[in-house]
Every structure is written in C-alpha cells, then in structure tokens.
Amino acid sequence: MIVVMKEGASKSEIERVMQLLQSKGLGTHLSEGVEMTVIGVIGQKEKVRELGIEGLPGVEKIVSVSYPFKLASRPFHPDNTTIEILGHVVGGDEPTIIAGPCSVESKEGLIEIAQAIKASGAHMLRGGAFKPRSSPYSFQGLGEEGLKYLAAAREATGLAVVSEIMEPGLVDLVIDYVDVLQIGARNMQNYALLKAVGKTNRPVLLKRGFSNTIEEWLMSAEYILSEGNPNVILCERGIRTFETYTRNTLDLNAIPVVQHLSHLPVLVDPSHGIGHSRYVTAMARAGVAAGAAGVIVEVHKKPEEAWSDGNQTITLEEFDRLAKQVRDTHRLVREYQLEASRS
C-alpha cells in the first residue's frame, strides 16, 4: 500500500502517519520527491489493506498495489489446476462442454436434451432446479423434483450434472443429486454460501458476478479454497455495461487476465454473456480462442417454448455445430500453448 501525502503536507503530518503505521507493526518507506511525498507500507497484505487513514490531516489518498488473493494466485500454485469429473478433465487437453436448458422442465424433455448433447460431444448437463428470478412472480424452478430429473438424466446418459445452489441451507440436499455445484452471478458475494460449498469437496462452478471485478471474483474463489475445497472452476458470464444491444457484455479480456493471475480453470458462458441466441456460437468460439477451458451454453429442443431464457437459448442443431467449432478452435489454441511452453 502507498500513502500519498498532499502537496505541502507538513513534517508533523507525515510523522503522524508514519507513527500510526509503525504502531500497528507495519514497515514504512518514505520517498520525498520534488512534487510529492509518498509512504510505502510493508507488511501482511490484508492488514495493510484495512487501514482507514485517509481522513488524517495531510493525507491525499491511499493506493493499493498488492493482490489480495493467495490460494487462488498463480505464484502460490504455478501449474494450472485440473479437475476430474466423471472421467473428464476440466482444464485438460479437451475443452469442457456443458449444455442444457435454463430451467429443468420435464423428465422426458431433459433426458432427450441430455442424449442429444451427449451425441454432440458434451461432457456435462446443466439445468436449473432452483432459479434466481428477478421477479417473485416468475417461475422459480421445480426444486427437488428438478434435481431428481437431473439425476435421472445422468443415469440415462452418464453425463455429469451441474445445477445452481442458492442458499447454504440447501447444500446437503443438492449435493445428493449433482456433480458440480454452481454459484450464480447474483450470489458471487454471498459469503455464507461460499463458505458452505467450501466445506464440501464437490467441484464448484463459480460464475463471475455481473458487476464484479476480476479481483473480487478471485477473492470469492479464495473463500471456497480457504475452507478447504480446491475444486473451483471459474466461469465468465458477462458483465454489465452501458451497451444495450446485448444483454450483458461477455468480458473475454478476463480470460487471459485470470490465467495470468490464477491457476484455476476458467470457462465462458456465451448464452448469458451476449444474451441473444443468434450470437452465441461466435462468442463460444471467441471464448475458447481467448484461452478458456471450455463453454457452458443453454440449449432447448424448442427455445421459443422454453420456460425461461428462450431468447438466448440455441437449438440442438445449433449446439451440434457450436460443439464442433469449439473443439476445433481449442485444438488450435492448445497447439500454440504447447509451442510457447517448449520455447
């Protein structure tokens, strides 16, 4: 952390700040330049970041320079993390492909979708049983019944299943049915929930909040990791910007940045990311080209009949093409990465 003093701050103001820092056991480095004076603060990261000294006389501002995440950071764990789920390795040589309806609707419909996406090469089936809806009057999901259908689809196809969990009290229930616990964008900073899934060892798909910085996202991963669960898969799903032609702005910049800062695998969700079915395939390709370990997309037999998110859901035929393009693009990127690691 750097304390920037006001131009013209007095010796005694600078002294007071230095003494306060030292009284808390922190090291200080004073740099007096021609135009400004700054104090570098050294010590345990989280302690340094908690200081509220900006209101002291002579202090202009506080500037943070260190990253607050540890277990999630690349220096802590230089190699990429890989996570095996029912035989498929997330973060491995093949791209992870997850697909399924926004909401679980019927058992037969779900199994039909599962069989189709499996034939197209998907590794996992997604489907919402508990749905976070902005309106209390919208369909809230089938609940446990939906989980049962997911389990049935897994049995029928061998696909792993992914479903969202929205409250700590339901971890015990959901974990009986699903292979991957999804934390949705709206709950990315629901710390009670993060701690609860961190206490299991089940893989967690942690979506980025639609207005959360990359740093906050990795800090939420840190919550899960610090409870003892190392199986965190990140998922970029679009951030909120001023643009309104797209539902969100899928932030592919986050992909290489996360890979630089962290060892955790990261997927992209182009369905929520761009929000219109006609653009989903292009963004899936782009996500993998940016370096993502795979994709998660919404599919339905008849999107126009889907109970939720129909506008961003693609058909089974479109999914078949998407899966192929994702595999091709991933193969290309994998080669570049291998080349780079050899040189």
- Binders in 176-235 for a copy of itself, by CB under 8 A: 186-187, 189-193, 195, 209-211, 213-216, 219-220, 222-223, 226-227
Of the ranges 115-123, 156-164, 174-182, 302-310, which one interacts with a copy of itself (CB under 8 A)? 302-310
Q: What's the closest the beta carbon of residue 226 comes to a copy of itself, in angstroms?
A: 5
* Coil, strand or helix at 340: helix
**C-alpha span between 84 and 92 (Å, rounded):** 9
Is residue 81 a contact point for a copy of itself (CB under 8 A)? no
How open is the CA angle 210-213-214, to the nearest 5 degrees? 110
- Residue 43 tokens, joined: 């010590």
* Coil, strand or helix at 158: coil
Nearer to a copy of itself, 124 or 188 (CB): 188
Nearer to a copy of itself, 152 or 279 (CB): 279
Is residue 266 a contact point for a copy of itself (CB under 8 A)? no
Is residue 168 a contact point for a copy of itself (CB under 8 A)? yes
Q: Which of residues 90-129 bind a copy of itself (CB under 8 A)?
A: none
Q: What's the closest the beta carbon of residue 33 comes to a copy of itself, in angstroms?
A: 4
Q: What's the closest the beta carbon of residue 122 comes to a copy of itself, in angstroms?
A: 19
Is residue 256 a contact point for a copy of itself (CB under 8 A)? yes
Is residue 240 a contact point for a copy of itself (CB under 8 A)? yes
Burial of 226 (0-12, 13-18, 19+ CB in 10 A): middle
CA nearest to 218, candidates 264, 166, 165: 264
Is residue 80 a contact point for a copy of itself (CB under 8 A)? no
**C-alpha span between 319 and 299 (Å, rounded):** 7
Q: Which of residues 271-290 bind a copy of itself (CB under 8 A)?
A: 273-274, 276-279, 282-283, 285-290
Token look-up 């049935």 returns 152
Token look-up 């949705």 returns 184
- Residue 102 tokens, joined: 């926004």
Using CB under 8 A as the criterion, what x/- string covers residues 132-161 for binding a copy of itself?
xxxxxxxx----------------------
**C-alpha span between 343 and 339 (Å, rounded):** 6
Q: What's the closest the beta carbon of residue 272 comes to a copy of itself, in angstroms?
A: 12
Is residue 334 a contact point for a copy of itself (CB under 8 A)? no
CA nearest to 197, candidates 158, 159, 168: 168
* C-beta neighbour count of 42 within 10 angstroms: 12
Is residue 169 a contact point for a copy of itself (CB under 8 A)? yes
What letter does residue 81 receive in the DSSP assignment? P
Q: What's the closest the beta carbon of residue 40 comes to a copy of itself, in angstroms?
A: 5
Handedness of CA 95, 166, 106, 297 (dihedral sign): negative
Q: What's the closest the beta carbon of residue 121 comes to a copy of itself, in angstroms?
A: 16
* One residue of 49, 86, 93, 119 binding a copy of itself per CB under 8 A: 49
Q: What's the closest the beta carbon of residue 197 comes to a copy of itself, in angstroms?
A: 13
Give start and end residues of each alpha helix (H) in 199-307: 214-226, 254-261, 270-274, 280-289
Q: Which of residues 7-26 bind a copy of itself (CB under 8 A)?
A: 7-8, 20
What letter does residue 187 receive in the DSSP assignment? G
CA nearest to 294, candidates 82, 76, 102, 86: 82
Nearer to a copy of itself, 158 or 276 (CB): 276
